[in-house]
Structure 1
């Protein structure tokens, strides 16, 4: 998966007091029913967890939309949600109604989520943060109305590395000519089949030729609500919705 001090935001990028903080949300978020024909592979993996339950693998889902004669599947829903968030500056440019539309598609996609998404190997890899329902959560003060005047976000990337490492990075241009980035490295722990917790080390800030660490550890919690080979959806502990798109 908000001034310049480390607090927490979801499995996401920098501390909410600078960027993502470790939760996908400024305070606590710091990352099934009828049968689906979804075909993406998802064999179990092991992430450190206090829970030891195992369930048989299965993908279950149902889609209910306004026209009962029309049915759609996860591929169509993924294409729909990406079309709604692309070019939105990670949600900043969307209206309230458009945010609602994104949430509706995400809710339908959730019905197609695998039973134990935290054990799905598709979680690994590099992901772009392409949307957040609270636009200032991924980026903190840099993403506020005033912050965006001085800082242009270039990339928001989350890399999930086996077995349990998360590396988050936000790169930006300050005043149009000074490049910088903030990065976090954290350890991931599964809380149950869908929720994960990440404890991040102190963030690193690089601006021009300067490089230093500041603040302390931060913690995030995120529910994985859908994952496939293209996108991952996450919901913070206070309900912020995140859309990640796999980097190619």
Structure 2
């Protein structure tokens, strides 16, 4: 699709939305909506192989995520959402940069439940915040393997007990390397696949 490649090229220059003006955001959202109308997989949970894997955030309107960049001395690095379909698990991982040797990581682990042909409810159950050096973070796949093994990290690592820590996500576009979602707070997420997690 020509408009898909054009959209991706446009978003790459926007630093996940941090460098987007209001007018540019309107144009981007309109382009996203057009792509959603051409969704080749309107039943994404029937395409579990496509859905499964590690996805990197390309663009979002979520102020919760983009707001991390506004903290003093902190810069938002890559953000990943890693889906493990068989385990109904989602791993959100944000890399944080700033002062030398104080690079950080924020990870939230959640379980999802399919509630309609394109919607999942999401319940957050664990949060990990710490320095990449102490966690020995290298890349998302390794961190997830350690989380799945039950490892406790040298970090702020706690279970989330609050029942309010939940939400939902609609998957509005899915193909072999691009996914678009819309969350319960009205935010849009555009992600590109970096690994299918088949190894």
State if a TM-score over 0.5 links the two structures.
yes
Q: What is the deviation of 1:91?
A: 0.3
Equivalent residue, structure 2, for 1:233: 180
Which protein is bigger by CA-based radius of gyration?
Answer: 1
Query: Is 1:180 equivalent to 2:107 in the alignment?
Result: no
Equivalent residue, structure 1, for 2:155: 211
The alignment's C-alpha RMSD in Å is 1.8
CA distance in 1, matches of 2:122, 2:187: 17
Question: Superposed, which structure 2 residues align to 1:134-153 within 5 Å?
Answer: 134=62, 136-138=63-65, 141-143=67-69, 145=70, 147=71, 149-153=72-76
Equivalent residue, structure 1, for 2:28: 102
Contact 1:129 1:157 in 2 (8 A): yes
Query: Is 1:189 equivalent to 2:113 in the alignment?
Result: yes
Query: Runs of 5+ in structure 1 lacking a partner?
Result: 1-74
Equivalent residue, structure 2, for 1:48: none
Q: What is the deviation of 1:215?
A: 6.7
**Higher-RCO chain (CA-CA 8 Å, sequence separation at least 6):** 1
Question: Superposed, which structure 2 residues align to 1:1-248 within 5 Å?
Answer: 75-113=1-39, 114-121=41-48, 122-134=50-62, 136-138=63-65, 141-143=67-69, 145=70, 147=71, 149-163=72-86, 164-207=88-131, 208-209=133-134, 210-214=154-158, 216-217=160-161, 218-247=165-194
Cα offsets for 1:16-49 (capped at 9, x unmatched)? xxxxxxxxxxxxxxxxxxxxxxxxxxxxxxxxxx
Q: What is the deviation of 1:214?
A: 4.3
Moved over 6 A (4+): none
CA distance in 2, matches of 1:173, 1:77: 33
Contact 2:107 2:128 in 1 (8 A): yes
CA distance in 2, matches of 1:176, 1:89: 21
Q: What is the deviation of 1:128?
A: 0.4
Cα offsets for 1:185-234 (capped at 9, x unmatched)? 21111110011111121211122434122472421211111010111001
Query: Runs of 5+ in structure 2 lacking a partner?
Result: 135-153
Higher strand content, 1 or 2: 2
Higher helix content, 1 or 2: 2
CA distance in 2, matches of 1:138, 1:96: 17
Q: What is the deviation of 1:180?
A: 1.3
